[in-house]
Amino acid sequence: MTVFVQKTDSVYAMSRENPAVVTVKSGTVVQLETCDCFGDQIQTTDTPFGELDWGRINPATGPVYVEEAKAGDVLCVEIQKIDVAQQAVMVTAPNLGVTGDMHHGPEIHIVPITDGMALLPGGVQWPIKPMIGVIGTAPAGEPVSCGIPDAHGGNMDCKVIAEGATLYLPVNVDGALFALGDLHAAMGDGEVSVCGLEIQGKVTVRLSVIKERALPTPMVKTADAIYTIASAKLLDDAANMAARNMAGFITRHTRLSLSEAVSLLSICGDLQICQVVDPQKTCRFALPLSVARQLDIQL
């Protein structure tokens, strides 16, 4: 049986104090309906930008309490399906994104999606690849805005967190208190405008608890690679952390020394940028599954 959570059940910060909207057992399939990152406030290009309620940005649907989850466990999130609407929203504006100082005023773009293709500016057609921008568990300490990524997950804007991927998140508090939102029909690495194709949708996940296994969460496994993800105020720090986490993961799960692991990663691995526009920047480090299999690493 699939448990359904509607988008009216949402939070704007991930917190141990958030009351759960539903309680499930480990292994349950949950479908979460989501608003777009603007809280569905923009439907047309003539929406008054100055009248947007910025307190309604980046809602995350949930949280979901997983009965067996205890602090110190890992929450395994299998992303089975992402369904998105037929219209996405993008904005550019002063002080937003990497070119924020170059914009003289806000502009809203409504992007239609037909037969799996998005119609972008200039008549460019681009295939959609839906992904999840905000996804995480409650942190152990102070609440963290859904607009900020950190060790608990959050607004990582990592395009490999997509249909078919498995995400591993830390359980910091009993129940995990899992939530997600901020879907993108597509997004390039960096998210340089501060937007992907922001869109409403539904996400179907299976939530399972992993006991007695330390992982450098957040981590993602796809059909091609294993990724460590890290966020920090400075991009250099996020990059270093993602690479160090992968090196540590390899040394813990193989007989390789640190020197050997780092040498391997310098040849076979890829350090990649997720986003550079949030209050904390996010990077990921990719280890090809073909290499992981040769090292007999299981995830």
Q: Does some domain include residue 92?
A: no
By mean pLDDT, which of 49-53, 165-169, 242-246, 275-279 is the weakest?
49-53
Q: Report the residue count for the chain.
A: 299
Q: Specify the number of domains making up the chain.
A: 2
Regarding whether 50 and 75 lie in a shared domain, the answer is yes
What is the rounded distance in angstroms from the CA atom of residue 167 to the CA atom of residue 220? 4
What are the pLDDT digits (tens) for 5-37?
Answer: 999 999 999 999 999 999 999 999 999 999 999
Residues 137 and 277 in one domain: no
In a domain, 177, yes or no: yes
CATH code at 239?
Answer: 3.10.28.20
- Residue 144 sits in the same domain as residue 280: no
Q: What is the CATH number of the domain that holds 160?
A: 2.60.120.580
Shared-domain flag, residues 165 and 273: no
- In whole angstroms, what is the distance from residue 158 CA to residue 152 CA? 14
Instruction: Tell me the two tokens of residue 190.
Output: 């960096």
- Both 137 and 256 in a single domain? no
Residue 194 lies in a domain: yes
Domain annotation covers residue 236:
yes
Report, in angstroms and rounded to the nearest whole number, the Rg of the chain calculated over CA atoms: 19
Within a domain: residue 105? Answer: no
Full domain range(s) for residue 250: 219-294
Listed residues 210, 243, 265: the one ending a domain: 210
| 291 pLDDT more than 90 | yes
**Antiparallel, parallel or unpaired: β 28-34 and 2-5:** parallel
Q: What is the pLDDT of residues 191-233, one digit of tens each?
A: 999 999 999 999 999 999 999 999 999 999 999 999 999 999 9
* pLDDT (0 to 100) of residue 1: 86
Residues 80 and 16 in one domain: yes
pLDDT at residue 28 in the model: 98
Query: Do both 192 and 261 map to the same domain?
Result: no
Q: How confident is the model at residue 50 (pLDDT cuts 50, 70, 90)?
A: confident
